[in-house]
Amino acid sequence: MRRPVAVWLFAVTFMLWVMIVLGGATRSWGSGLSIMEWAPVTGILPPLSHAEWERLFGLYQRIPQYKLVNDGFGLAGFQHIFWLEWTHRLWGRLIGLAVLLPLLVFWRQGQIDRRLGWRLLGLFCLGGLQGAVGWFMVASGFMADSIAVSAYRLVIHLSLALVLFAAMLWTALSVAARAPVRLAGWRPMRAALRAATLLLVLTIVAGGFVAGTKAGFTYNSFPLMDGRLVPAGYAALHPLWRNWFENIPAVQFDHRVLATLSLAALSIIGLLGIARAPTPWLRRRFGGLLAAVLTQYSLGVVTLLAVVPPLLGTLHQAVAMIVLAAALATLHGLRGAR
């Protein structure tokens, strides 16, 4: 009886991953500000007439991004960036339906208990809040002289997406799992992996500031930054904490350091886990974690050296979520550590 529920939750988790990838794509291709209205219900339909297209294009022409970046690209250019943002918003609505409707059916049929039902209902409400946070983020791009959204609001939106993705994946793993395997002597490994996973989350959040400040378009060399280990101007802003979120040299340097620490921690854990795992399925989880983090770090370097082409930037964000999923799946497998 638990299998249909587990399949449903894993499907929703996959939809959340696609949603995060679409969010990265809208940012990479500059589509995020193309829809000037927040219409949770009526916005499900795209423009159905030429007059409606002209109206929406007229709204877009009023914001600084059009005047400073896309002036004169015409209705066809507007349609090109519109469809990606519209797909991103439509996918969010579909996720809401994919959570709520099966939840009501399974709950009525008695296939989920009260505790799980309330947890999933809470995640559904959190998803609705994410939609509002998304509009809060987009609105920051309409301000005078602004050609992109606020980096702070972008990171809030990304962080909430991480919470939703992680919570749904953990719930799906819990529903699908059998009784935890007793793993004597594995408690230090579980603690180390938990700390490394938190470091990974911090790295992803720091990547959000890299994206929000467009820090990836400078210092396109590796491992040094313009021939220096620590870039010039790291602490140019005052107070000091502003550099970590607003100063391009510091933002990119911090992301590099955090990514390297994540790579080292997760690689060591992955290798030790492969060597010590008592069961094949646990060994596969450690192996998947090791492969994912090595792929992501290599992809990050390639993306930087290539000056962040949209496709590589989007792929980098997609694989980051795969690394997080691999870390959570491995951590869930260690819940029986003693």
pLDDT digits (tens, 9 = 90+) for 102-114: 999 999 999 999 9
Q: Over range 29-49, report the average pLDDT.
A: 88
Could you say which of 176, 210, 237 is where a domain stops?
176
Q: Are residues 7 and 90 in the same domain?
A: yes
Q: Are residues 135 and 232 in the same domain?
A: no
* Residues forming beta bridges with residue 183, ordered by sequence position: 337
Count of CB atoms situated within 10 Å of the CB of 196: 24
Q: Over range 16-34, report the average pLDDT.
A: 94
Q: Are residues 102 and 137 in the same domain?
A: yes
Q: Could you give the dihedral angle defined by the CA atoms of residues 192, 194, 200 and 206, in that order, rounded to the nearest 10 degrees?
A: -110
Q: Which residue has the tokens 């609105």?
A: 139
Distances (CA, A) of 213 to 83, 178, 190, 207: 24, 44, 35, 10
| Segment 77-111, tens digit of pLDDT | 999 999 999 999 999 999 999 999 999 999 999 99
Cβ(230)–Cβ(253) under 8 Å? yes
Residue 69 confidence (pLDDT): 87
Could you say which of 176, 199, 225 is where a domain stops?
176
pLDDT score of 26 more than 90: yes
Per-residue confidence band for 338, with pLDDT thresholds at 50, 70 and 90: low
Q: Are residues 248 and 228 in the same domain?
A: yes
| Segment 242-292, tens digit of pLDDT | 999 999 999 999 999 999 999 999 999 999 999 999 899 999 999 999 999
SS3 content of the chain, % helix, strand, coil (to 5): 75, 0, 25
Q: Are residues 212 and 146 in the same domain?
A: no
Tokens of 83: 């469809």
Domain that residue 297 falls in: 182-338
Angle between helices 50-60 and 74-109 (to 10 degrees): 100
What is the chain's mean pLDDT, rounded? 94
Buried b / exposed e along 274-292 (16+ C-beta atoms within 10 A): beebeeeebeebbbbbbeb
Residue 170 confidence (pLDDT): 97
- From CA 146, how far away is CA 143, in angstroms rounded? 6
Instruction: Examine residue 223 and say whether the peptide bond preceding it is cis (omega within 30 degrees of 0).
Output: yes
Q: Are residues 201 and 238 in the same domain?
A: yes
Q: Are residues 172 and 191 in the same domain?
A: no
DSSP code at position 180: P
Q: Are residues 31 and 123 in the same domain?
A: yes
- From CA 35, how far away is CA 267, in angstroms rounded? 42
Q: Are residues 122 and 8 in the same domain?
A: yes
Per-residue confidence band for 68, with pLDDT thresholds at 50, 70 and 90: confident
Cβ(326)–Cβ(332) under 8 Å? no
User: Looking at the 3D structure of the chain, how many domains does it have?
Assistant: 2
Q: Are residues 189 and 327 in the same domain?
A: yes
Q: Are residues 278 and 322 in the same domain?
A: yes
Cβ(235)–Cβ(250) under 8 Å? yes
Q: Are residues 133 and 212 in the same domain?
A: no
Could you say which of 117, 141, 176 is where a domain stops?
176
